[in-house]
Amino acid sequence: MLYSKNNEEKLSLELFKNPTAEYRGCPFFAWNCEVNKHQLLKQIDMLKEMGMGGFHIHSRTGMGIEYLSDEFMELVKVANEKAKENNMLTWLYDEDRWPSGFAGGYVTKETKYRARFLVFSPKEYEEGSDESLEEFSSSGRAQRSNNRRLIAKYEVVLKDGFLTNYKRLKVDGEPSKGAKVWWAYIEVAGSSPWFNNEAYVNTLDSEAIERFINITHEKYYKVLGEEFGKSVPAIFTDEPQFTHKDNLGFSHEERDITIPFTDDFEDTFKKVYGASILDFLPELFWELPDERISVTRYRYHDHLSERFTSAYADTIGKWCDDHGIMLTGHMMEEPTLETQTKALGEAMRSYRGFQLPGIDMLCDRREYSTAKQAQSAAHQYGRPGVISELYGVTNWDFDFRGHKLQGDWQAALGITVRVHHLTWMSMEGEAKRDYPASIGYQSPWYKEYPYIENHFSRLNTALTRGKARIRVGVIHPIESYWLHFGPEEQTASIRGEMDENFNNIIEWLLFGLIDFDFIAESLLPSLTEVHEDKIFRVGEMGYDVVIVPNCETLRSSTVDRLEAFRKAGGELIFAGETAKLVDATETDRVLNLAKNSEVIPFTKTKILHAVEQYRDIDIKNEKGLRVDNLFYQMREDGEGIWVFICHAKKTDNPDIASVENIDIRIKGVWNPVVYDTMSGETYPCEASVLGDKTRIHYQFFQHDSLLLYLQPGEVKENNINKFVAYSKSDELHILDSVAVTLSEPNVLLLDLAEYSFNDGSWQPREELLRIDNKFRKQLGYPQRMEALVQPWINKAKTEPEHRLSLKFTIISDIELVNPYLALE
């Protein structure tokens, strides 16, 4: 159990003040060079000094030691021993770079384990024709090759862009007059330098994933198995995905379309549905006339998602469960209905295999959907928390305010394990271009980082206790989105509106201070039986009210449970259009259910009004308006309740301090205590009782957060007009010049130079990276910033073939004494 200390009846003040390793962050420790023991031990001490509770051993671009070799594994053992010495945790990472599954290329050396995809083409390919491109990606997108086989042939008839007729032909069959012939091929993914001159893995094939486990996980188990579940709590899997789905832009265009597929997909589809996917394949690509819905299209997306989840997350999750270690990490492209449809089918389904589900949050984005999906699954499966890969791609000037704000809103949405992206071991070579900033010794503030890390670790000691108090469930609308995955010109506006509605209901509820969980229809049958109950049970959770938001189709298994819930008197709300389909087939079943339920327009005001009776907290400003920039999390812990309140949106100008007086009202009569996560201190919170609510007046600056523990019992009446401030705004007046001491020498970056190639004429000044790539392209070398093979793959030393001369001009108003030149 990750948080075994939570078994104590109450949170000890000592643990809150000085949290232990499991509550602290564990950054990606980028092994991106020729790793040596001295640097490894030194940098683990630095991570400890920063307040980290551990690290993820992450083979990254620049890795110079053969991945998973005896030398590599010996360093893994050294790192783990050092971590134990420092009372830290060693978190594992299951891949050389990402996405996970190919084991640095060891798995996909065997062609049978490489990704496959279906190519639907308007042309017949000659045997062995090569469609490979020189463009390579660090994802599982279709990498074309010359390895394909024909599986079906069709005649297709379109009228006004709609699929009016089609027929599967024999290979030597002739089409009808006026019909266009299309061919369907299964193609094996081609090689890519990103996958170390191999390919991505077939994530629809459990045998391929078992091979991945045998090469990777079993190796770690052999070396560190005795520490699994102790000093080694989890293994991180990164961005597993299938070949991304393609769709036509215009219905009449004639080009290759690629979609995920595998060798036995036809067989397993037929086994589940009793019908051939290949007989109806054109319905995946074109719209049917008269706004008819294709049940085959719906079934394809569902079956594909199930094949992916069962092959990847379920297979690895079972191995981890059997070996006493948690599967953690995150999926690919989780945030929108569109992105997860294209790369995963649906995100939430895969979380069933994770002992510690997770997300990533790069570029300081606000993907509330991504966090809420993972948090919902964690709640329903009774997982200890959610992991987040955060702070990535925020650059060198992303300061502590950004770190706190980004971490706070994620904590409110259930994030308990923070994986800082990332800590470079080295800046050598291509490693220096790896998504800065480096959250480590290269940043001048690294010794001050405990100020941030202590805050979040203290917060975790509270927000991992007890059980989340959530009363509202929302049916996830992803399956309705699948119905419209057709040509852009006909379906993009429909799908765009669906994604907008998806985002809206998330933000309306969260910023309306009504917390909720998503309910994934695919997971529901395994999480609850059909039974009459006023509480809608989903695994470990129970909801007082369920919202069905603009869904066009529902599963029959979902309708079974909603009917029983409503029959028992449960509160069921249909917001927006009511589904006319069940399992993508027309029926009045949902319409009849809606007649006995509450049906409201899909608007913010109507939805919030409909769930007002289930509100536990409200926060308003001095004008009486509900604040629009705060999140909260509420957790029941014994007889008391934890409440965490924080900001979510980015500030307009973080350099101008602003304060807001807020009025917090919490259902019930409580005696609140402030747990100050910045200082580790606790003190009573001034409050009053207003009817059946506890009322707190509070002052919030734009990066503040508040952690309260609500104890049962009457509060002492206080002046309710007083706004309490626990943060202070100080003005510092600097009237005269002050002495400045440098912590390290000043550095001038030399990144612009005149240049000469092979002793030719000098060329005007240019950025070094552009100069480098200019001649790499000219000579046919791999480009900088592209998908490069890892150094450990090819260690052969080569003699220089050309000479590039650089000339730097430095202008200085002062004379420099004993300057140094550092170069690579």
Q: Where are the alpha helices (DSSP H) in 423-552?
A: 450-463, 478-482, 488-511, 524-527
Whether the predicted pLDDT of 719 surpasses 60:
no
Mean pLDDT of 411-427: 98
Q: Which residue has the higher pLDDT, 579 or 715?
A: 579
- 337: enclosing H helix or E strand: helix 337-343
Contact 671, 624 (CB under 8 A): no
Dump the DSSP string for 404-421.
Answer: HHHHHHHHHTTEEEEEES
CATH, range 472-613:
3.40.50
Beta strands 598-600 and 581-582 are: unpaired
Binning pLDDT at 50, 70 and 90, where does residue 465 land?
Answer: very high
Distance between CA atoms of 430 and 427, rounded to whole angstroms?
A: 8
- pLDDT attached to residue 677: 98
Question: Token pair 């990490």 is at which residue?
Answer: 329
Query: CB neighbours (10 Å) of residue 343?
Result: 25
* 785 pLDDT tier (thresholds 50, 70, 90): confident
| Predicted pLDDT of residue 721 | 46
Domain map of the chain by residue range? 4-105+208-240+324-465, 115-200+245-304, 472-613, 633-712, 743-824
Predicted structure pTM score? 0.96
CB distance 227 to 80 below 8 Å: yes
| Half-sphere exposure at residue 180, Cβ-oriented, CA atoms within 13 angstroms | 18
Q: Are strands 571-575 and 598-600 parallel, antiparallel or unpaired?
A: parallel
Q: What is the mean pLDDT of the chain?
A: 96
Q: What is the pLDDT of residue 730?
A: 73
The pLDDT assigned to 720 comes to: 46
Residue 718 pLDDT greater than 60, yes or no: no
| C-alpha gyration radius of the chain | 29
pLDDT for residue 444 = 92
Residue 398 has pLDDT above 70, yes or no: yes
> Residue range 744-770: average pLDDT?
95
Give the per-residue pLDDT at 725.
62
The pLDDT > 70 percentage for the chain reads: 98
**Who has greater pLDDT, 606 or 794?**
606
Q: Which residues contact 741 (CB under 8 A, 6 or more apart)?
A: none
How far apart are alpha carbons 67 and 240 in whole angstroms? 19
**Three-class DSSP category at 67:** coil
Give the residue among 282, 326, 287, 340 at the shortest CA–CA distance from 522. Answer: 340
Beta-bridge partners for 637: 640
Q: What mean pLDDT comes out for the span 318-328?
A: 99
Distance CA 136, CA 356 (A): 31
pLDDT exceeds cutoff 90 at 687: yes
Place of tokens 């620049």: 62
- Distance of alpha carbon 422 from alpha carbon 435, whole angstroms: 8
Tell the burial category of 269 from Cβ atoms under 10 Å away from its Cβ (0-12, 13-18, 19+): buried
- Write out pLDDT tens, residues 648-680: 999 988 888 889 999 999 999 999 999 999 999
In this prediction, residues 759-785 reach a mean pLDDT of 92
| Angle at CA of residue 446, ends 327 and 58, nearest 5° | 30
The two most distant CA atoms of the chain are separated, in Å, by: 91
Nearest to 702 by CA among 632, 665, 653, 633: 653
Please report, as a single letter, which amino acid is at residue 540.
E
3-state secondary structure of 146: coil
Backbone angles phi, psi at 411, to 5 degrees: -60, -40
CATH numeric code, 633-712: 2.60.40
Q: Which CATH class is domain 4-105+208-240+324-465?
A: alpha beta
Residue 728's pLDDT is 64
Residue 424 has pLDDT above 90, yes or no: yes
